[in-house]
């Protein structure tokens, strides 16, 4: 495959001109000393790292972003990632001690953290990210822009991939056209901050305002009658603004305020929704909080009480505005979001949060956390129809209905933490009583309440000031969230499935009309060992190993096993289809559902005969090696993560179906137990990251990030027609592989990404300036990120790596 050299010539010319300008500014204008220059912060000296998503994707050793975001492509999307196999919906975010989670998009932050202005810390055991604003004094202004699709893959890409991987590259397997890859057409944004101390009656004031606007493209897939996967290139326009302010009313009282607004005209494109399935999204929220605190007599932790009121208004409307129906290909080529149905309407969320911390002694403190969220869904479309296509042939329809509904979710924690340091040893113990409840106001009989006890323990051994070893063991319970409310509500979304002859086959969605009496709250155990060496010269080395096992995961099963009838597939196996028009579903736990299906002969009794009992529930096991060095002129970190996330979940691939803890009606399908046990979406087997920033001279810096991760494991899917009824979809093989039986399935290609930056600082008009250039994915080897999962014998790439992009960044303090 040949590529025009004009793109490379343009890029090289632009790069030379930019470097020449930057060198001129640095050499011929005054430069602040390195130690005093605000822009000398390591994160800023590598402008590749802009948002929290960049940090997780490029720096944090044991995670990655589920969606594709090269070159700020995903800046308008919610943040989806996992801590050590956890479901992304369990993530929590705090900024300056205040809770900033989205109330609608569970597990994602409302505020888009900017790395250069935030100190970050992580609690991966509880899936919490803490941010602390670190703003420069006075006004700080930052403007930036980015464009994508700058040229094509480097020459000899196919040969390079084959040499190292020993298999054909995506470019050699009849991929989509290179010029049709999803990419960022343009992004423009600016950021303004202000920080001052001792202003009149205020001890301090600090604030941030950001605005982003842009357009990108995505591919919308469909099929023809010859089973070919075809696509349209569809644009998506977006904008987002957010502001956050904090005021020191006195030495002991802080006020906190945020406002957030976002618009997207094709929400869902990141989940591979087709253009008929995407939605117009408006999301608006505000938060008001107050923090009363006092310096404790016993420790440096402040005794505090925080109160917060949050409101979020989220509107979703399908993009089939001219009618109340659209067509959906059930053999969705990528196998992701196979059942991506949701209602149109407005979700109103009102949340109250109350936190407190009190130091009882030097070694003991008490804390509490209470969050209560009232949700009211205002339906905008009472009914709509999805016409179902099977390789472009009409085979039936689902008529969905939706009506207003409301619920109240409350979660509370009450904990004690005790810590002791004695010589070479120290330990920390934590005990936590918690409750989690759900009230469905229209269906009181489905209310839930759980009480549980969690704990954590840490033992540290430090034989010298350079060496430290930690042993952690604990249990964390999974709180109830809106996904449970939506699956239990019979009015949020419910439908009827009709065949081609317009005969009712069965009910679907919203029919989880019962809860087992023995329902338990999900939780996970973790066991971790960490070894760390730090030298006085800034060198560090770390080994971090961890095991997690997930217990009592929520599950959905059929209320009556006789609602299924079996038939024989081409391999002679029993596969099942729904034969009961009145099928109902039950909310239960995974263990109970499996036992029920085995006792009713829907699942083989020896399904786990080759798997040790301890590993029959989903689990994470892995080790991370990290090495780095930090000095005034060099920042370097390299990490290698080898791990597995293994278990079973709904049929299909991607975030919607394939995470640990997914709650979906499709979990009830007995066919998923045929070959469903394998690797999950948060599993990439091997992840390598390298981060490097080097001061060349004066205040001229270069930055480099290199990222490698193995491909997403997935199930190749098979179909079987039930004459006069519908089509069964089931796994052809295990997703990824089953590490206990040696069965191998499928995994998408690995991805390499190289990002390069050049930045410099100078003084002009008595102000500090910084200008930078970033080349995203500058090698652009067009690795595969998605393939046709229904073509079992032919691995046609559907999506290729987001192409090379360029970003410019200009900042100054005044």
pLDDT per position as a tens digit, 341-364? 899 999 999 999 999 999 998 899
pLDDT of residue 35: 28
Give the separation between CA 62 and CA 689, rounded to whole angstroms.
Answer: 10
Q: For the chain, what are the domain ranges?
A: 6-813
pLDDT of residue 794: 67
pLDDT of residue 2: 41
Q: What is the CA radius of gyration of the chain?
A: 27
- DSSP H/E element including 579: none
Give the separation between CA 70 and CA 218, rounded to whole angstroms.
Answer: 14
Residue 122: helix, strand or coil by DSSP? strand
Pick the CATH number of 6-813 from 2.40.170.20, 3.40.630.30, 3.30.565.10, 2.130.10.10: 2.40.170.20
Residue 308, phi then psi, degrees to nearest 5: -145, 140
According to DSSP, residue 803 is labeled P
pLDDT of residue 17: 56
Residue 57 has pLDDT above 50, yes or no: yes
Report which of 382, 379, 309 is spatially closest to residue 349, judged by C-alpha positions.
Answer: 309
Least confident of 288-297, 362-371, 490-499: 288-297
The pair of three-digit structure tokens given for residue 199, joined into one six-digit string: 């202003």
- What is the SS3 assignment for 739-781? CCCCCECEECCCEEEEEEEEEEEEEECCEEEEEEEEEECCCCC
Residue 30 or residue 579, greater confidence: 579
Note whether 681 and 718 are within 8 A (CB). no
Which residues, including other chains, have CB under 8 Å from residue 699's CB and lie 6 or more apart?
26, 31, 32, 34, 37, 39, 40, 760, 761, 762
Which residues, including other chains, have CB under 8 Å from residue 613's CB and lie 6 or more apart?
none
Tell me: the pLDDT tens digits for 569-609? 888 899 999 999 999 999 999 999 999 999 999 999 999 98
Long-range contacts of 194-199 (CB under 8 A, 24+ apart): 194/135, 194/138, 194/139, 194/140, 195/135, 195/136, 195/137, 195/138, 195/140, 196/137, 196/138, 197/137
Calculate the CA 757 to chain-centre distance: 26
| DSSP secondary structure string for all residues of 295-357 | E-SSSSSEEEEEEEEEEEEEEEEES-TTSSEEEEESS-TT-BSTT-----EEEEEEEEEEEEE
Give the separation between CA 95 and CA 117, rounded to whole angstroms.
Answer: 12
Residue 333 has pLDDT above 90, yes or no: no
pLDDT (average), residues 631-641:
92
pLDDT of residue 250: 87
The pair of three-digit structure tokens given for residue 113, joined into one six-digit string: 């953290």
Note whether 287 and 312 are within 8 A (CB). no
Q: What is the pTM of this model?
A: 0.92
pLDDT (average), residues 177-181:
92
Tell me: the pLDDT tens digits for 661-691? 999 898 999 999 988 899 999 999 999 999 9
Give the separation between CA 126 and CA 78, rounded to whole angstroms.
Answer: 20
| DSSP secondary structure string for all residues of 143-206 | EEEEE---S-PPTTHHHHHHHHHSS--GGGS--S-GGGS--EEEEEEEEEEEEEEEETTEEEEE
Note whether 616 and 628 are within 8 A (CB). no
Give the separation between CA 24 and CA 757, rounded to whole angstroms.
Answer: 18
Residue 21 has pLDDT above 60, yes or no: no
Give the separation between CA 365 and CA 362, rounded to whole angstroms.
Answer: 8
Give the separation between CA 529 and CA 545, rounded to whole angstroms.
Answer: 5
Which residues, including other chains, have CB under 8 Å from residue 588's CB and lie 6 or more apart?
515, 516, 518, 519, 554, 555, 556, 557, 596
Positive or negative, the Cα torsion across 807, 259, 88, 126?
Answer: positive
pLDDT (average), residues 91-115:
93
Report which of 746, 720, 810, 700 is spatially closest to residue 29, judged by C-alpha positions.
Answer: 700
Measured CA distances, 136 to 116, 139, 192, 288, 631 (Å): 10, 7, 11, 24, 22
Residue 793 has pLDDT above 70, yes or no: no
pLDDT of residue 31: 42
| DSSP secondary structure string for all residues of 506-523 | EEESS-EEEE-TT----E
According to DSSP, residue 361 is labeled S
Tell me: the pLDDT tens digits for 703-731? 999 999 999 998 889 999 988 888 999 99
Q: Please state the length of the chain.
A: 814
Note whether 783 and 749 are within 8 A (CB). yes
Give the separation between CA 428 and CA 441, rounded to whole angstroms.
Answer: 42
Note whether 652 and 671 are within 8 A (CB). no
- Please give the torsion angle defined by the CA atoms of residues 242, 246, 247 and 253, in that order, rounded to the nearest 10 degrees: 140
Give the separation between CA 187 and CA 184, rounded to whole angstroms.
Answer: 7
- Please give the torsion angle defined by the CA atoms of residues 76, 271, 667 and 612, in that order, rounded to the nearest 10 degrees: -90
């Amino acid at each position: 495959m040949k590529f025009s050299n004009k793109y490379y010539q343009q890029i090289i010319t632009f790069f030379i001109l930019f470097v020449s300008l930057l060198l001129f500014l640095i050499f011929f204008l005054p430069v602040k000393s390195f130690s005093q220059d605000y822009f000398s912060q390591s994160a800023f000296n590598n402008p590749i790292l802009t948002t929290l998503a960049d940090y997780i994707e490029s720096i944090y050793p044991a995670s990655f972003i589920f969606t594709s975001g090269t070159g700020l492509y995903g800046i308008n999307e919610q943040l989806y990632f996992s801590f050590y196999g956890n479901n992304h919906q369990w993530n929590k975010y705090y900024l300056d001690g205040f809770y900033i989670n989205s109330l609608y998009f569970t597990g994602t932050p409302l505020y888009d953290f900017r790395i250069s202005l935030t100190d970050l810390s992580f609690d991966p055991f509880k899936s919490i990210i803490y941010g602390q604003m670190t703003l420069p004094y006075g006004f700080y202004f930052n403007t930036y822009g980015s464009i994508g699709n700058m040229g094509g893959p480097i020459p000899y890409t196919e040969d390079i991939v084959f040499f190292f991987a020993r298999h054909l590259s995506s470019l050699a397997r009849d991929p989509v056209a290179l010029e049709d890859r999803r990419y960022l057409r343009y992004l423009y944004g600016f950021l303004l901050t202000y920080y001052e101390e001792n202003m009149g009656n205020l001890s301090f004031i600090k604030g941030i305002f950001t605005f982003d606007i842009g357009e990108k493209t995505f591919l919308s897939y469909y099929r023809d009658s010859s089973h070919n996967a075809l696509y349209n290139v569809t644009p998506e326009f977006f904008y987002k603004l957010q502001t956050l302010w904090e005021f020191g009313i006195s030495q002991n009282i802080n006020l906190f305020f945020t406002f957030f607004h976002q618009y997207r005209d094709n929400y869902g494109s990141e989940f591979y929704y087709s253009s008929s399935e995407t939605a117009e999204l408006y999301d608006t929220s505000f938060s008001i909080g107050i923090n009363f605190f006092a310096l404790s007599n016993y420790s440096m932790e402040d005794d505090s009480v925080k109160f917060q009121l949050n409101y979020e208004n989220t509107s979703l409307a399908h993009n089939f505005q001219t009618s109340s129906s659209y067509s959906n290909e059930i053999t969705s080529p990528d196998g992701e979001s196979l059942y991506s149905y949701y209602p149109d309407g407005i979700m109103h969320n009102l949340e109250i949060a109350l936190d407190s911390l009190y130091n009882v002694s030097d070694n003991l403190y008490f804390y509490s956390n209470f969050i209560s969220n009232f949700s009211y869904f205002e339906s905008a479309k009472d009914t709509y129809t999805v016409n179902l296509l099977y390789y472009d042939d009409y085979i039936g329809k689902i008529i969905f209905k939706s009506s207003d509904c409301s619920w109240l979710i409350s979660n509370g924690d009450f904990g004690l933490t005790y810590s002791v340091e004695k010589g070479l040893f120290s330990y920390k113990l934590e005990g936590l009583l918690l409750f989690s409840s759900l009230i469905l106001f229209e269906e009181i009989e489905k209310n839930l309440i759980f009480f549980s006890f969690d704990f954590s323990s840490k033992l540290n051994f430090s034989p010298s000031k350079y060496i430290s070893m930690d042993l952690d063991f604990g249990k964390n319970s999974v709180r109830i969230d809106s996904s449970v409310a939506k699956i239990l509500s019979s009015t949020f979304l419910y439908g009827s499935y009709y065949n081609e002859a317009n005969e009712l086959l069965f009910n679907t969605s919203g029919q989880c009309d019962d809860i087992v009496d023995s329902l338990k709250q999900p939780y996970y155990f973790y066991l971790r060992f960490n070894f760390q060496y730090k030298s006085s010269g800034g060198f560090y080395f770390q080994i971090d190993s961890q095991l997690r096992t997930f217990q009592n995961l929520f599950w959905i099963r059929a209320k009556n096993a006789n609602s299924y009838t079996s038939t024989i597939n081409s391999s002679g196996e029993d596969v099942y289809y729904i034969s009961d028009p009145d099928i109902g579903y039950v909310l239960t736990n995974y263990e109970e559902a499996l036992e029920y299906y085995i006792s009713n002969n829907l699942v083989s009794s020896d399904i786990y005969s080759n798997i040790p009992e301890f590993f029959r529930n989903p689990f994470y096991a892995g080790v991370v090696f990290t090495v780095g060095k930090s000095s005034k002129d060099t920042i370097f970190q390299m990490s290698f993560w080898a791990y597995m996330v293994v278990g079973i979940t709904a049929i299909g691939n991607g975030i919607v179906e394939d995470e640990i803890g997914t709650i979906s009606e499709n979990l009830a399908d007995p066919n998923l137990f045929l070959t469903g046990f394998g690797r999950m979406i948060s599993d990439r087997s091997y992840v390598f990251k390298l981060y490097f920033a080097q001061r060349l001279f004066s205040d001229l810096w270069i930055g480099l990030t290199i990222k490698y991760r193995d491909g997403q494991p997935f199930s190749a899917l098979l179909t079987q027609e039930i004459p006069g009824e519908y089509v069964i979809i089931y796994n052809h093989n295990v997703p990824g592989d089953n590490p206990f039986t040696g069965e191998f399935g499928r995994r998408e290609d690995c991805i390499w990404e190289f990002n390069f930056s050049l930045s410099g600082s100078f003084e002009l008009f008595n102000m500090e300036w910084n200008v930078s250039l970033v080349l995203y994915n500058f090698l652009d080897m067009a690795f595969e990120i998605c393939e046709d999962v229904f073509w079992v014998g032919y691995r046609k790439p559907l999506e290729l790596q987001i192409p090379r992009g360029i970003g410019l960044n200009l900042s100054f303090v005044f």
